[in-house]
């Protein structure tokens, strides 16, 4: 009997595409940060900056993490997968750089 996860078509993301998406999200965050600071009279930056940061982290989780990481159905329980995804969401500038570095290192070696 198949699990629901196994029945989904496996969509893999190339490493180059992951790097391009990550760099695009970094530039989007930079432009968003500068835009919020230049137009701070319109909407308070204390609201927009955390929301924009989490939205970019969510987009990276949905696109890059799904495309690069595969969760093993035996060794990855719910707690470890959720912990990894929440860590990647909250600390996306560091965690995705580390993930891309590890995948690149795995590919080269």
Q: List pLDDT tens digits, range 41-92.
A: 766 777 788 999 999 999 999 999 888 888 777 777 888 888 989 999 999 9
Q: Give pLDDT tens digits for 16-30.
A: 999 999 999 999 999
List the one residue out of 56, 64, 57 whose CA is nearest residue 18.
64
The rounded distance, in Å, linking the Cα atoms of 47 and 38 is: 15
Flag whether 76 is in a domain.
yes
Largest Cα–Cα separation, the chain: 58
* Residue 58, domain extent: 13-108
In a domain, 5, yes or no: no
Quote the number of domains for the chain.
1
| 1 located within any domain | no
Predicted TM-score of the model (pTM): 0.80
Q: In this structure, is residue 47 part of a structural domain? A: yes
Does 26 map to a domain?
yes
* pLDDT of 5 over the 70 cut: no
Angle made by CA atoms 107, 87, 9, in degrees to the nearest 5:
55
């Amino acid at each position: 009997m198949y699990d629901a996860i196994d029945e989904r078509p496996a969509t893999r993301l190339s490493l180059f595409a992951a790097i391009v998406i990550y760099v695009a999200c970094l530039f989007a965050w930079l432009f968003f940060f500068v835009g919020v600071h230049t137009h701070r009279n319109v909407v308070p930056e204390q609201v927009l900056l955390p929301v924009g940061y989490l939205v970019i982290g969510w987009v990276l989780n949905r696109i890059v993490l799904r495309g690069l990481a595969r969760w093993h159905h035996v060794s990855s329980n719910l707690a470890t997968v959720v912990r990894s995804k929440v860590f990647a969401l909250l600390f996306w500038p560091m965690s995705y750089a580390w993930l891309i570095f590890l995948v690149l290192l795995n590919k080269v070696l």
